[in-house]
Amino acid sequence: MTGREILLGVTGGVAAYKAADLCSKIVQQGDFVSVVMTESAGQFIGATTFEALTGRPVYSGTFRPIEHFQGEHIGLARRAQLFVVAPATANFLAQAAGGFAGDLLSTLVLTATCPLLLAPAMNCDMWDKKSVQRNVTQLRSDGVHFVDPGSGWLSCGQVGSGRMAEPTEILATINKLLDQH
């Protein structure tokens, strides 16, 4: 099945480059992608990359409507059949678990009614923190889906858990979730 609407959130982490590959793979299979970037994501990858891949604007401002004048957090949420955040940083996990709406991406977590899939990515010491694991547990109990991070070489020079799942693994989970709904 093609022509499905995917909302892709990108947060600020080195793994943001993998989000571009994921976005490309989703588009190549015939689905539509709207990208929402946090301010910190822009420190790692440019909006122009995602605009070229999707043929759509990239959304970031809560109060600067581009397409949905009743609010991007409403329009994007209503259009999405699946909401994916990759990479999902420790900060984003805390915002989502706590129900905070400090930017467009975290506000979308509160307005979207479609399934939410998170692909965490962070330093292994961060991933192992009790507070991060508590947030993951809360989100899972709230019905949020995860593609857990893998182990391997991390940009900090350590080897351990926290490496964002590969785009092909995330794509397989996206297709599985969309086939279920």
Instruction: State the catalytic residues.
Output: 156
CA–CA distances in Å: residue 139 to residues 75, 76, 142: 24, 21, 5
Strands 150-153, 159-163: pairing is antiparallel
Q: Which amino acid, 103?
A: D
Q: Which of these, 44, 46, 56, lies nearest to 80 by C-alpha position?
A: 56
Strands 145-146, 58-59: pairing is unpaired
Strands 58-59, 32-37: pairing is parallel
DSSP annotation string for 46-75:
-HHHHHHHHSSPEE--SS--SS-TT-HHHH
Mapped onto helix, strand or coil, the DSSP state of residue 121 is coil
The alpha carbon of residue 80 and the mean position of all alpha carbons in its chain are separated, in whole angstroms, by: 13
DSSP code of 1?
-
